[in-house]
Structure 1
Amino acid sequence: REPKVRESRVDLPPFHGKEDVDAYLDWEMKVEQIFTCHQVGEERKVPLATLAFKGQAMYWWKTLVRERRLHNDPPIEYWNDLRIAMRRRHIPSYYSRELMDKLQSLQQKNMSVEEYRQRMKFYLMSAGIREEERLTIARFLSGLNFVIRDRVKLLPYRDLDDICIHDGLTNKISFTHKDRKIVFNPLTPPQVFEDKKQMKRKKKEREKRK
């Protein structure tokens, strides 16, 4: 008889179910990070998540379980199904539309590459968008400043996190290509000026095509 593998203890932050979109999204993000860190199996995610419910959240969950049983609906057994149900309750439709608008119009502009990347990842997560990596990369590249975008397109990458490493202190961008490190230095004032001119010109061209 094989010895039973002991599962690691996983403690999730409590969730009280208050009407606060940011509080819910913050809780969801932390929970998914913990699930990934502890390699939690799918069969444990819903029991662990609902065990963290307190107050209004616990009352909502018990009511949902009872209603599904009365209507002969299958129980919620997977984290993604629970996440969808919680988003339906805690995230109003207008909030999702606003996030989509922000995501569609997101551009790097005065942000560092890392700030721009983190902002995009936050919008994607908050809006519940899970798209193919190539689509996310295309979205990311289209919003980069002109000079940086042309350089990034020349290099290979697997996903959004593989595109570049940004040094916030020196503002340098580094890549590893064929075991060779490539570093892009910050733009000079003339380069910044030229980049802004290019952006304005492209914006006018897009407006003319509309």
Structure 2
Amino acid sequence: MEYGSQEEDDWRIQNFEARHHHHQHQQPKKTMPFIKLPSFNGDNDPNIYLGWETKVEQMFNVYEVKEDQKIELASLEFEDYVMRWWHQLVMEIGLNKRLTMVSWNDFKLCMRAQFVPPHYRNELLLKLQRLHQGPRSMDEYFKDLEVTLIKINMHESEESKIVRFVSGLRREIQNVVELYEYTSLKKLVHLAVKVESQLLRKTSFKHTHNDGFYNSSWKDKNKFHNQDIPSNSSKESTPQTSKENSSPSRTKSPTKTSNKKCFKYLGFGHITTNCPNKRTMMVKGVIVVSDHSD
């Protein structure tokens, strides 16, 4: 039999299955807890696997599952591609082609190597490096920081988390927080939330009074002031009107067309020869022009 041939692999598989079957008969049956875990089908999105892993760990903690039962319970919920991939992996472990997974952490490392690509971790590290609060609330910022650390599987010390959290705060909050002493991340987050609430109240109070009370009072004051003091146009128009009304009987000065004057009857607009006060009569065929006097 040649080393590494197909016959040798078949012999190893048969030997493994026989030993595994004999091992199962020798050991007493395990009492597995009845837990309905979420299924996993090997989706290409790393977030789906990380969410599945987090949910499974949470259920293990709630039901107090033993360490040697976690891998078997989790693998029972594999579907489609993951089920076939896992079966092949178990066979390779039996053939000593892979290291045996003895703990839940070994299982998670193996699963992350398969379903979480390396570039995803690099992207998360860059996001963590540039993570800032920005316009978000304190609660949203802190949750984003915590979730990113969990996804990277980065176990930072309490001091490192505190430094990272403070460096990402908005400047006005950071300036106040740095004046206080804090011994834990939990107390620091509580302090930052209080500072944020105070700043929001001050900003809201300032906008409310500046835009509402003071502006309306100033506008009302100007409104009453303008009603009490007449405008310049009314000042100018009032004297003119009064002047016109005060002298309605004033004789208008002669216009340019009425400069002519009759010196006999003292009329305007004509001369003596054209005076309309003359009376014309016809006496025995002779035209007689006589002056008319009232």
Alignment counterpart, residue 29 of structure 1, candidates 40, 46, 54: 54
Query: Which 4+ residue blocks in structure 1 deviate beyond 3 angstroms?
Result: 6-9, 150-153, 186-190
> Which residue in the other structure is 1:185 paired with?
198
SS of residue in 1 equivalent to 2:167 = helix
TM normalised by structure 2 equals: 0.52
> Which residue in the other structure is 1:117 paired with?
142
Larger radius of gyration: 2
> Which residue in the other structure is 2:182 paired with?
156
Tell me how far apart the structure 2 counterparts of residues 101 and 183 of structure 1 sit (CA, whole Å).
Answer: 27
Tell me how far apart the structure 2 counterparts of residues 118 and 55 of structure 1 sit (CA, whole Å).
Answer: 33
Alignment counterpart, residue 114 of structure 2, candidates 83, 86, 89: 89
Cα pair 1:18 1:56 within 8 Å, conserved: no
SS of residue in 1 equivalent to 2:70 = helix
Cα pair 2:133 2:141 within 8 Å, conserved: yes
Which 10-residue stretch deviates more, 51-60 or 84-93? 51-60
Which one has a larger percent helix, Structure 1 or Structure 2? Answer: 2
> Which residue in the other structure is 2:165 paired with?
140
Evaluate the alpha carbon distance shift between residue 101 and residue 8 of structure 1 in structure 2; reply closer, same or farther with a 3 A threshold.
same
Evaluate the alpha carbon distance shift between residue 186 and residue 48 of structure 1 in structure 2; reply closer, same or farther with a 3 A threshold.
farther
Q: Which runs of 5+ in 1 are unaligned?
A: 1-5, 167-171, 175-181, 191-210
SS of residue in 2 equivalent to 1:18 = coil
Alignment counterpart, residue 16 of structure 1, candidates 38, 41, 59: 41
Evaluate the alpha carbon distance shift between residue 92 and residue 110 of structure 1 in structure 2; reply closer, same or farther with a 3 A threshold.
same
Tell me how far apart the structure 1 counterparts of residues 90 and 187 of structure 2 sit (CA, whole Å).
Answer: 42
Cα pair 1:76 1:82 within 8 Å, conserved: yes
Evaluate the alpha carbon distance shift between residue 12 and residue 151 of structure 1 in structure 2; reply closer, same or farther with a 3 A threshold.
farther
Tell me the amino acid that sits aligned with residue 149 of structure 1.
Q
Higher relative contact order (CA 8 A, sep 6+): 1
Tell me the amino acid that sits aligned with residue 83 of structure 2.
M
SS of residue in 2 equivalent to 1:173 = helix
Instruction: Report the count of equivalent residues.
Output: 172
> Which residue in the other structure is 1:48 paired with?
73
Tell me how far apart the structure 2 counterparts of residues 63 and 93 of structure 1 sit (CA, whole Å).
Answer: 23
The answer as to 2:82 corresponding to 1:62 is: no
Tell me how far apart the structure 1 counterparts of residues 51 and 104 of structure 2 sit (CA, whole Å).
Answer: 16
Tell me the amino acid that sits aligned with residue 163 of structure 2.
A
Evaluate the alpha carbon distance shift between residue 58 and residue 123 of structure 1 in structure 2; reply closer, same or farther with a 3 A threshold.
same
Q: CA RMSD for the aligned pairs? A: 2.7
Tell me the amino acid that sits aligned with residue 148 of structure 2.
Y
Between the two proteins, what is the percent identity of the paired residues?
A: 33
